């Protein structure tokens, strides 16, 4: 025995079929459509509906794939910003110390191999290698500022998806660093008494 809820669908389908059959009989009797013409028109309408459904499905799939790729790119970009910022902060922090040691450079190497290599392509890694090779003496602050400025440019170019160009941005970064160095000369040294 069927329950009350299970009776709805068979009755609904039966009612729809009865209405369709009644409509077809009425249109045939009046002469609006003849049965042979009607079947070809029904077939054409069903074929059109199927084509529209397939095209819609293909377009929706393409749109979903595009949205997924866009979301992935956004997440990668956000991760790059965090990793690059952390690296640049550590890199310039070395310049604040008067006593830069080999361990400080080993810490930078660890940072490169633990995070940067996952985001930089081969050409940017090669440019980083070239810049690291330019450091002959890590006690030469001016050379390190220039090298770090070029490394910063490489990372910026990767973030902004453009090819590295040696332009005046490097010099602007060096000048900016030197301005802060000049200003820091006026900062009081902790523990030193003013006369």
Angle among Cα 144, 148, 154 to the nearest 5 degrees reads 150
pLDDT in tens, 118-172: 888 888 888 888 887 777 666 677 777 888 888 888 888 888 876 555 556 566 6
| pLDDT score of 78 | 92
- Retrieve residue 16's tokens: 């729809």
Report how far Cα 162 is from the mean position of its chain's Cα atoms: 15
Query: Would you call 182 helix, strand, or coil by DSSP?
Result: helix
- Predicted TM-score of the model (pTM): 0.59
157 and 165 Cβ atoms separated by less than 8 Å: yes
- Retrieve residue 131's tokens: 């810049």
Query: Would you call 138 helix, strand, or coil by DSSP?
Result: coil
Q: CB neighbours (10 Å) of residue 105?
A: 14
| pLDDT score of 116 | 84
Residue 54 in this model has a pLDDT that exceeds 50? yes
| pLDDT score of 5 | 59
Q: What percent of the chain clears pLDDT 70, i.e. is strictly above it?
A: 74
Q: For residue 70, name the pLDDT band (cuts at 50, 70, 90).
A: very high
Q: CB neighbours (10 Å) of residue 151?
A: 24
DSSP state of 117: G
């Amino acid at each position: 025995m069927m329950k009350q809820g299970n009776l709805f669908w068979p009755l609904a389908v039966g009612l729809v079929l009865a209405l369709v059959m009644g409509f077809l009989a009425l249109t045939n009797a009046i002469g609006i459509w003849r049965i042979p013409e009607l079947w070809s028109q029904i077939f054409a309408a069903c074929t059109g509906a199927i084509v529209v459904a397939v095209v819609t499905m293909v377009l929706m799939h393409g749109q979903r794939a595009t949205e997924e790729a866009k979301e992935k790119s956004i997440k990668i970009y956000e991760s790059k910003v965090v990793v690059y910022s952390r690296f640049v902060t550590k890199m310039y922090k070395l310049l604040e110390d008067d006593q830069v040691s080999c361990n400080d450079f080993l810490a930078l190497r660890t940072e490169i191999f633990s995070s940067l290599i996952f985001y930089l392509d081969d050409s940017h890694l090669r440019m980083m290698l070239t810049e690291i090779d330019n450091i002959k003496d890590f006690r030469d602050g001016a050379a390190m500022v220039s090298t770090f400025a070029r490394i910063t440019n490489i990372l910026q170019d990767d973030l902004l998806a453009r090819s590295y160009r040696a332009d005046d941005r490097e010099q602007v970064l060096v000048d900016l660093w030197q301005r802060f160095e000049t200003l820091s000369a006026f900062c009081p040294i902790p523990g030193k008494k003013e006369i």
